[in-house]
A and B are shown apart, each in its own frame.
Chain A
Amino acid sequence: MMWETAILIGLLFGAACFLILQASFVRILFGFILLSNAANLFVLAMSGRPDGKSAPIVGVAGAAPVDPLPQALILTAIVIGFGVIAYLVILLYRTFLDQRTASARELFDPARERPEEEQA
């Protein structure tokens, strides 16, 4: 299963990079969501192969438990990632309202300048 996980993580990172480099705000947003999930999956993969191991619950006898620490780490990372993505949504929406464009290419067009009378 190691190879499958590695390929999946690679695909997720690749797709995320492709989307982030697009001009459209919505694609950029999806790119960042994929990116944080790819990183979480990577950390999860660090707990090793789960085959033949029991869930890490105290008091349950049986096979050796799965290493629970990466799960705790990504739980924290998911919460943080969720907060940051929520902030990114609001930032992009406010940029859209203020600048009337949903394209990063248009937003950073050098011809697009602040109107002269506003430059106080």
Chain B
Amino acid sequence: MNPATLMILPVALPLVTAVVALMGRRPAAWRRWFTGGSALLQVVVAFALASTAWHGGPQVLAIGGWAAPYGIVLVGDLLAGIMLVLGAVTALASLLYGFAELPVGDEHPLRLPLVQFLVTGINLAFCTADLFNLFVAFEVMLISSYALLTLEADDWDIKQAFPYMALNLVGSTLFLVAAGLAYGLFGSLNFAAIAERSTALAGTPQLTVLALLLFTVFGMKAGLFPLFYWLPNSYPILPSPVAALYAGMLTKVGVYVLLRIFGQVLPPDLPLIHTLMMWLAAATMIFGVLGAVSRNFIRGILSFHILSQIGYMVLAIGLFTPYAIAAAIFYIIHHIIVKSTLFMVGGVVVVLNRSDDLTKTGRLWAVAPVLGVVFLLQALSLAGVPPLSGFWGKYMIVVEGLRQREWVLVGCALLAGVLTMFSMLKIWNGPFWHPEAAGGVHLADARWKPMTAVAGGMTLLSLGIGFGAEFFLRVAHEAARQVLDRGAYVTLLLGGGN
């Protein structure tokens, strides 16, 4: 089969799985086997696509044979491949974790189909090379995420869904406006066509307005300061398997699109936007980590940490050198795995201690040391202790920041790292070291073992990224090179004669 034809599978597979699972109506064992099998297949497909892009360069699939810039095209370059692999691995892990957490009969009948719809939207956002198609992908993803957020929320949690939805609705509307503006400016919504025509407009106010609009939209979706408040209150109300997937993937879709739009589609000389990006990223890091320090329940702390980590990635994009873009990509690879593992650990603590309030948990280091080791490795990795994976990402960003003489920004990044360590110690002192547990320790609840096993598997992956950093850095550099090579992208999509 032509490798480009594979490009449709990351979108088609979860869609078909969702529809079939939806037709099953009731939760049943076959539905789990079917969805799990499909998730495994998605991992295989994603690896195949990534390795094709790694060895053979970007692949293009024109849907229905309509060539760019008129038809919709899917592009599988290395960055899209990496994101697809990460998404598929996280989705598989969160599925397995969910299977371990709930017996078949207790599962909400709509959870599995909605998760697969969510994955469809995420994957489409990674593959697409068309601004309007990206809008559709975001809507598929967001509508599923609204539904999942409210699906199992109780009478009190439900109110947190409102700010989440309201802000994302405003974001989507601005996205539509930006798409309209881009069409008015360039006469096309294809990424390559925009890339080709926007160079002539570089420096004009129209292009700056468009760039600002797109930055607002995707900054909001990524959770950048000052529009991040929808995130840390809404994520803790999710059931923990779904929270692990959200924490890993959703905001990173925003970061990915920032990378794609500003790295590849819009012209590279937008100094205003890049400066704004860096300073907002620094503010996000500091405010995010301070929010984490102020919380006293595990998922609340972890949710604020997502924000502060987003700050690092966006700072790297704002520095905007090939090295910094590679650092951002490496950071995304590291972050998705670590963050979803930490949410999984939080879920296991809830199972064992019946609470995730730091004052009511305790004794887990004594009774479940494996869980402690998993948490410790991932928490230290998040804080950036060598040789764990987080260190390399932070190191690259700090090095590039120093090369650009951005002393204040580097200072913010280092300070956020120290505060990350501090808030991780808060979690460590609660469930793991506290000598008393108000809710008791429910070791007889056998669910925690398979759940810890899934989190442990993710930790092994993360250790692999840390110790095999050289390989992953080479992948990140190649992905960054493919993103920044605008000429090749335009030729690939529009052909040489255009």
Residues of A within 8 A of B155 (CB): 98-99
Identify B180's interface contact among A35, A73, A91, A95, CB under 8 A. Answer: A73
Q: Known contacts A20-B166, A32-B169, A94-B150; decide if A73 and B158 are in contact (CB<8 Å).
A: no
Given contacts A70-B180, A94-B150, A94-B158, 7 further A-B contacts (CB under 8 A): A39-B177, A42-B180, A80-B139, A84-B142, A87-B165, A91-B165, A108-B159
Chain B stretch 129-176: residues in CB contact (< 8 A) with chain A: 132, 135-136, 139, 142-143, 146-147, 150, 155-156, 158-159, 161-162, 165-166, 169-170, 172-174, 176
- Distance between A83 CB and nearest chain B CB, rounded to angstroms: 6
| 7 CB < 8 A contacts A-B | A39-B176, A46-B180, A69-B183, A80-B139, A87-B146, A87-B165, A107-B159
Footprint of A on B, CB under 8 Å? 132, 135-136, 139, 142-143, 146-147, 150, 155-156, 158-159, 161-162, 165-166, 169-170, 172-174, 176-177, 179-181, 183-184, 354-355
- Distance between A38 CB and nearest chain B CB, rounded to angstroms: 8
Footprint of B on A, CB under 8 Å? 20, 28, 32, 35-36, 38-40, 42-43, 45-46, 69-70, 73, 76-77, 80, 83-84, 87-88, 91-92, 94-95, 98-99, 104, 107-108, 114, 118, 120
Main secondary structure of the interface of A (DSSP, over half): helix
Report Cα–Cα, A120/B354, bound state, in Å. Answer: 8
Report Cα–Cα, A97/B180, bound state, in Å. Answer: 38
- Distance between A31 CB and nearest chain B CB, rounded to angstroms: 9
Q: Known contacts A20-B166, A88-B165, A99-B155; decide if A42 and B150 are in contact (CB<8 Å).
A: no
Report Cα–Cα, A67/B355, bound state, in Å. Answer: 58
Identify A98's interface contact among B147, B158, B174, CB under 8 A. Answer: B158
Q: Known contacts A70-B183, A91-B150; decide if A76 and B132 are in contact (CB<8 Å).
A: yes
Q: Say yes or no: A91 contacts B156, CB within 8 Å.
A: no
Residues of A within 8 A of B143 (CB): 83-84, 87
Q: Known contacts A94-B158, A95-B158, A98-B155; decide if A84 and B169 are in contact (CB<8 Å).
A: yes
- Distance between A110 CB and nearest chain B CB, rounded to angstroms: 13
Q: Say yes or no: B180 contacts A84, CB within 8 Å.
A: no
Q: Say yes or no: B173 contacts A73, CB within 8 Å.
A: no
Residues of A within 8 A of B150 (CB): 91, 94
Q: Say yes or no: B162 contacts A92, CB within 8 Å.
A: yes
- 8 shortest interchain CB distances as A-B pairs: A43-B180, A98-B155, A46-B184, A39-B176, A114-B156, A39-B173, A80-B139, A46-B180
Q: Say yes or no: A39 contacts B136, CB within 8 Å.
A: no
Q: Known contacts A32-B169, A99-B158, A118-B156; decide if A43 and B183 are in contact (CB<8 Å).
A: yes
- Distance between A3 CB and nearest chain B CB, rounded to angstroms: 16
Report Cα–Cα, A94/B155, bound state, in Å. Answer: 9
Residues of A within 8 A of B147 (CB): 87
Report Cα–Cα, A40/B179, bound state, in Å. Answer: 11
Residues of B within 8 A of A99 (CB): 155-156, 158-159
Q: Say yes or no: B179 contacts A88, CB within 8 Å.
A: no
- Distance between A97 CB and nearest chain B CB, rounded to angstroms: 9
Q: Known contacts A32-B169, A80-B139; decide if A73 and B354 are in contact (CB<8 Å).
A: no
- Distance between B42 CB and nearest chain A CB, rounded to angstroms: 25
Identify B136's interface contact among A36, A80, A118, CB under 8 A. Answer: A80
Residue of A nearest to B131 (CB): A73
- Distance between A44 CB and nearest chain B CB, rounded to angstroms: 8
Q: Say yes or no: B165 contacts A43, CB within 8 Å.
A: no
Residues of A within 8 A of B136 (CB): 76, 80
Report Cα–Cα, A43/B155, bound state, in Å. Answer: 39
Residue of A nearest to B188 (CB): A69
Residue of A nearest to B160 (CB): A108
Residue of A nearest to B156 (CB): A114
Residues of A within 8 A of B177 (CB): 39, 42-43
Q: Known contacts A43-B183, A73-B180, A80-B139; decide if A91 and B132 are in contact (CB<8 Å).
A: no
Report Cα–Cα, A28/B169, bound state, in Å. Answer: 12
Which among B132, B162, B172, B176 has the greatest number of chain A C-beta atoms within 10 A? B176
Report Cα–Cα, A98/B414, bound state, in Å. Answer: 44
Q: Known contacts A39-B177, A69-B183; decide if A104 and B162 are in contact (CB<8 Å).
A: yes
Identify B162's interface contact among A40, A83, A107, CB under 8 A. Answer: A107
Residue of A nearest to B163 (CB): A108
Report Cα–Cα, A36/B176, bound state, in Å. Answer: 9
Q: Say yes or no: A35 contacts B173, CB within 8 Å.
A: yes
Residues of A within 8 A of B172 (CB): 80, 84
- Distance between B437 CB and nearest chain A CB, rounded to angstroms: 15
Report Cα–Cα, A99/B169, bound state, in Å. Answer: 22
Q: Say yes or no: A36 contacts B159, CB within 8 Å.
A: no
Residues of B within 8 A of A40 (CB): 176
Residues of A within 8 A of B179 (CB): 43, 73
Q: Say yes or no: A28 contacts B166, CB within 8 Å.
A: yes
Report Cα–Cα, A17/B93, bound state, in Å. Answer: 41
Report Cα–Cα, A30/B168, bound state, in Å. Answer: 16
Residues of A within 8 A of B159 (CB): 95, 99, 107-108
Residue of A nearest to B184 (CB): A46
Report Cα–Cα, A28/B150, bound state, in Å. Answer: 19
Q: Say yes or no: B183 contacts A84, CB within 8 Å.
A: no
- Distance between A88 CB and nearest chain B CB, rounded to angstroms: 6
Report Cα–Cα, A46/B132, bound state, in Å. Answer: 14
- Distance between A30 CB and nearest chain B CB, rounded to angstroms: 13
- Distance between B201 CB and nearest chain A CB, rounded to angstroms: 16
Q: Say yes or no: B176 contacts A91, CB within 8 Å.
A: no
- Distance between A120 CB and nearest chain B CB, rounded to angstroms: 7
Report Cα–Cα, A42/B181, bound state, in Å. Answer: 8
